[in-house]
Structure 1
Amino acid sequence: MTSAVSPADLKSLPNLPGYTFPEYKDNYARPNTWNVVNGVRIEQKEGLSFDKPKFVKVSKAPDVWRSGSLPDSQTRAVFKNAGADIQFQDLPAWDAFDRHVLRFSGYFKESVVETNLENFRVRKVTIYYYLEDDTCQIIEPKQDNSGIPQGQLIRRHRFPSADGGYLKTEDIRVGSTLQIYGRSIFVTDCDPFTREFYESAGDPQGAPEPEEMDPFQETRQAMKNHAPVQPRTYEKVYREVMLGGGHINADMQQFLENDKRVLRFFAVLDDVFTPQFERRPFTIMFFLADDMIEIREQYPLNCGRDNFPIFFRKGKMPMGAYKVEGPQAQARKKNEYVHGHDFRVGMTVQLLGTYSFFIYDADEFTRRHFVN
């Protein structure tokens, strides 16, 4: 009578001919441990050339009924109440954290030895941490007349950590110093999304830290705050004209003082020239820089008119009847044109000879302009 032999007893047999048994495998594929990247053979090993895909737990979206215009039944109400508990599922980080980026602000100091005006330079940077693959990127915002090629300081990749491995989210803290490739970057602040991310993880960030300024930035700030020349006043212009100099272009002065300032009035026109009575809304704009007027029609929805809102193109509008004058006609004086200061809310103005506009409102800037 033969007895069954366990697999453990077979391992104790000597490695001699006649004492070995064939090993049966489930997978006979040859292991691929080497690969060619950019013409160089490298060993593919977990932790050396690649890592396992990172999975995170995210809340699962609840299932909802699409009832449309039909009322919900009793069974659907029971279904909704049964699924009130939050369920979680495992998703890969590249899917759950797609386009989720943590943004930190900081600076590092750089010595300057080529000039006697400053000993060091403070260079501000922005640190981006991409949660989908744990890569980082450092961008230096461009500064006017700095003389330094700024922009991308360190390209996007996985930053090595000081204690080995790679940089993680818990390694970046507001108020701490980050060591990256020999640079000591002091982290000063982070954006609201980054603070919410750390608070949801139970590890809130600290309060923002003040940024340090170097002599170059102080000099640039002083140049912006200091007035280069004495401001030109009306009394100064009057004294210069009395002394025979200081000629000033009045139109240019008006343009410099009132550029991009527009008075806007809202009006309606009772159009009696059409077979049926029609009240048409308009916007009257007066440009303070050159005393020109433009009238635009506000078409209501489905009014049946062509979409050409320019009723009167920007230009100077003469008072009275509008007529075309020849090249030998005498030029009109400035007080013979319509001015925006003649308009008031609640009045009816006669423009272009036969059009009566009732002004019923004005915007906030126009009201402040008349008050001042």
Structure 2
Amino acid sequence: MYEINDCQKVQMCTTLRLLSSRTARSEEDRDSLWDAWGSWSECSRTCGGGASYSLRRCLSSKTCEGRNIRYRTCSNVDCPPEAGDFRAQQCSAHNDVKYQGQFYEWLPVSNDPDNPCSLKCQARGAALVVELAPKVLDGTRCYTESLDMCISGLCQIVGCDRQLGSAVKEDNCGVCNGDGSTCRLVRGQYKSQLSANKLDDTVVAIPYGSRHVRLVLKGPDHLYLETKTLQGVKGENNLSSTGSFIVDNSSIDFQTFPDKEILRISGPLTADFTVKIRYAGAADSSVQFMFYQPIIHRWRETDFFPCSASCGGGYQLTSAECFDLRSNRIVADQYCHYYPENIKPKPKLQECNLDPCPARSVSSNFKSSALKTSNTVGKYFIATVY
């Protein structure tokens, strides 16, 4: 055992202070080796979410610790539907450049799990897939159903709050940081029974506002789409080749193979879609489908109805009405019964107007039964009523 004397204590404190001071100076020196951050660059995109960068210069003759570039998102407003897919634009920019001595019309190859930030494109009508650039432009989505974006050739995480590195995500209904309660998963399988006498059939109806639509057809037949906008305008769209298309302002990713077709729509759909199948061969086809359908009709509890009595104690009830979230109006109850998730609120009962009624006087005239003459005069009495 030994004790630390006062002198040793002073020496230790002095040493600790010196070490702390040196550490602080070291951190200051490290930061001071950098010049101030420069202004932010112009955004890489005008809409749809792009990237902007800022630079700083190392002032030391030696290597500085830390980064000399930083990024942030910008132009986080949706592009108009006619703008098209950003990756598709980059592929089509090579249409007027010969590849191996020949011109091609290039379509985007999306969702590459190995290198999502390279520009891979497929020649229309051919199996030719080529990497036309090692990096897509900054702000290009890594995957069609994700907000993550490519920056300097690397896939960077982007939250639904549109911030780099954010972990906040949309639920399947499209609500940022939501709980998934505003939509329902619809999935199923269709088996065709088409023939030369029955050339087409309906696979599934997908309503306005649906998201994350995916259909896979296996067999010789072909998918096509019928649409109907909220204004009642109808359309029909054949799907014949691989590519990204705009149908009624909804972006569609379609892939076709010798014995399979894949249809993806991130959504939300801007019209009611009906997916149909057209006969193309003797063998039967099957279609697996899934999508998230918005719950557009919800029960809404009413306010309490007027009290059953104005004083002395009464009762009042609430009710429930079916509300259309699209049109903001009350509709028939049957629309809310369509969704199993919709549970009709039970009526609430409460007492009301419990104060006693005030006393009031009521005058009444009557003929005295004691007077039986013809010139009877009516008498009055006062009754107090509670």
Q: TM-score by structure 1 length?
A: 0.18
Structure whose CA Rg is larger: 1
Structure with bigger strand share is 2
The structure, 1 or 2, with the larger RCO (C-alpha pairs under 8 Å, 6+ apart) is 2
Please report the TM-score for the alignment, with normalisation by the length of structure 2.
Answer: 0.17
